[in-house]
Structure 1
Amino acid sequence: MPVLPGAEPFRHEGGETGVLLCHGFTGCPQSLRPWADFLAERGLTVSLPLLPGHGTRWQDMQLTGWQDWYAEVDRELRILIDRCSSVFVFGLSMGGALSLRLAAQHGDAISGIVLVNPANRMHGLSAYALPVARHLVRTTKGLVSDIAKEGMTEVGYDRVPLHAAHSLRRFFRLLDSELPQVTQPMLLLHSPQDHVVAPADSARILSRVSSTDVTETLLERSYHVATLDHDAERIFQDSYDFIGRLAPHAGREKETASGG
């Protein structure tokens, strides 16, 4: 099945500091590509994979679940760990949840995590109806393009496959029990006006992780897909500064980086 324009995975071979970027549910690498480019231009090694079932058509996603999505980012992370001396994991929305589980599972192999509007649970009565509803209805309305910036759109599905949504709900419940295992330094940026993920998710994550080096930043001018919104440049620069504080050699790699 052809990949949607902009949904292609991205890799850049840079220096000894690596960053894995994880996109969101029903989205694709396009939502994080400007962030990936920003980091690559500064000499970092960057991996931005396309999650299974994403970036083509929603019917393909119907056949996948959280184990498939997690396995993909876990594989990419292991490649970076073998390749780089310091590795960071960044994620948007469900990508933030995937980042948190990677942090819980891989411990000190990850130097730090950056989360943008991370999702932690499904809210409302519809979430409780998923186990039954997924057998009666195949899809519900899409979640993409919650962006305040005029003229900016997100590449993704206009429908949410309910089998996949049910799997995501199960993943959130598993992850919630694992959050105390997260100890890495964390930068969490979230939008008070988010029409996809409730602000309560960020608050719960911050209350349950064991990280002691934590920075919380409010993205006042952006909606859910903040990496394509008014606060995008702030996210990019703050995350790069976060890396520079924890891996000081990262800022000196541009001269030695090669390829794209």
Structure 2
Amino acid sequence: MTVHPLATPLSLPARPELTGGRPLGVLLLHGFSGSPASMKPWAHALAEKGYAVEVPRLPGHGTRWQDLNRVAWTDWYAEAERALDRLLASTDAVVVGALSMGGSVALRLAEERGADVAGIVLVNPFVSSTRRELKALPLLKLVVPSMKGVINDIKKPGQDEVGYPRLPLKGLAAVTDLWRAVVPDLPKVTQPLLYFRSSIDHVIDDSSSRTVLGAVSSRDVEERILTESYHVATIDNDAPRIFEESAEFVARVTAT
């Protein structure tokens, strides 16, 4: 298995001298059929503020699209848990940030590991869909391995999330399996939540926003609209805003 050079995981150490003497961490999770490449600029921006950052490569990503047809959502969750545990071993508090499908994994961590997650930053999370063709997925995945994918939904020219040009259908079915675990438990989410949503997104619809914001029990919740970015906003025109505002959020929710 060969991993694309830009899709390798990333681990950056804490610099407590920049964060009030306390080591603090951020876990960043990429989206379905994407890769850590979409999160690394965000990771470096947070590291410059002094935060330890982990960007795992979720199983099946960054290699070839066929590999996504061989994994379950629990594989993604297990990898995210391992990265969370690495951060918890060396920091006082951890915030989880995520893009697209990574948002579902982040919410599952908040549901299952509540005391270990100080806050959540979601960027265009993929938690639900109104697309009718998904109803045919249980049968379609058995006869069609993949369909044409949607990658690099980015307004800013010259950016590359290092994603797959094909949409693996068994992998997509794993995403919907993840939703069935996450969505019923959304009321368990009580952590502060910062939610970034692009006003124009060619990959997901706004049902995810309604699903999440209408169900979580968090009292500290804010949705912020990104007007100059498409789906992969972490490497789009609004990226600097995401980086700065998420750093301010991390500082606030980890303060004691």
Which bracket does the TM-score occupy, shorter chain normalised? over 0.9
Q: In the alignment, which residue of structure 2 is the partner of 1:161?
A: 168
Secondary structure at the counterpart of residue 139 of structure 2: helix
Q: In the alignment, which residue of structure 1 is the partner of 2:9?
A: 9
Q: Which has the higher contact order (CA 8 A, sep 6+)?
A: 1
Q: In the alignment, which residue of structure 2 is the partner of 1:203?
A: 210
Q: Which runs of 5+ in 1 are unaligned?
A: 250-260
The answer to whether the 8 A contact 1:91-1:99 is kept is yes
1:151 aligns with 2:158: yes
Pick from 29, 39, 52 the counterpart of residue 59 of structure 2. Answer: 52
The answer to whether the 8 A contact 1:192-1:199 is kept is no
The answer to whether the 8 A contact 1:114-1:186 is kept is yes
The answer to whether the 8 A contact 1:183-1:210 is kept is yes
Q: In the alignment, which residue of structure 1 is the partner of 2:20?
A: none
**Aligned equivalents of 2:217 and 2:246: distance in 1?**
20
1:230 aligns with 2:237: yes
1:115 aligns with 2:105: no
Secondary structure at the counterpart of residue 51 of structure 1: coil
Q: In the alignment, which residue of structure 2 is the partner of 1:32?
A: 39
Moved over 3 A (4+): none
Secondary structure at the counterpart of residue 173 of structure 1: helix
1:217 aligns with 2:251: no
Quote the offset at 1:174 in angstroms: 1.5
Q: In the alignment, which residue of structure 1 is the partner of 2:73?
A: 66
**Aligned equivalents of 1:143 and 1:76: distance in 2?**
27
**Aligned equivalents of 1:134 and 1:43: distance in 2?**
44
Aligned residues: 249
Pick from 226, 229, 242 the counterpart of residue 249 of structure 2. Answer: 242
**Aligned equivalents of 1:22 and 1:163: distance in 2?**
20
The answer to whether the 8 A contact 1:52-1:72 is kept is yes
Q: In the alignment, which residue of structure 2 is the partner of 1:82?
A: 89
**Aligned equivalents of 2:116 and 2:144: distance in 1?**
42
CA RMSD across the alignment: 1.1
> What do the CA deviations read for 1:198-242 (whole angstroms, capped 9, x no partner)?
112112200100000011100011100000111000000000000
The answer to whether the 8 A contact 2:129-2:207 is kept is no
**Aligned equivalents of 2:156 and 2:51: distance in 1?**
28
**Aligned equivalents of 2:159 and 2:13: distance in 1?**
29
TM-score of the aligned structures, taking structure 2 as reference length? 0.95
Quote the offset at 1:5 in angstroms: 2.5
**Aligned equivalents of 2:96 and 2:90: distance in 1?**
14
> Identity over the aligned pairs, expressed in percent?
46
**Partner AA of 1:189 in structure 2:** F
> What do the CA deviations read for 1:72-108 (whole angstroms, capped 9, x no partner)?
0011112212221111000000011110110011112
The answer to whether the 8 A contact 1:140-1:162 is kept is yes
**Partner AA of 1:129 in structure 2:** A
**Aligned equivalents of 1:243 and 1:141: distance in 2?**
37
Q: Which runs of 5+ in 2 are unaligned?
A: 17-22
**Aligned equivalents of 1:106 and 1:99: distance in 2?**
10
**Partner AA of 1:179 in structure 2:** L
**Aligned equivalents of 2:235 and 2:122: distance in 1?**
15
1:128 aligns with 2:132: no
Quote the offset at 1:248 in angstroms: 3.8
**Aligned equivalents of 1:33 and 1:6: distance in 2?**
9
The answer to whether the 8 A contact 1:139-1:162 is kept is yes
Higher alpha-carbon deviation: 78-87 or 208-217: 78-87
1:176 aligns with 2:183: yes
**Aligned equivalents of 1:195 and 1:235: distance in 2?**
19
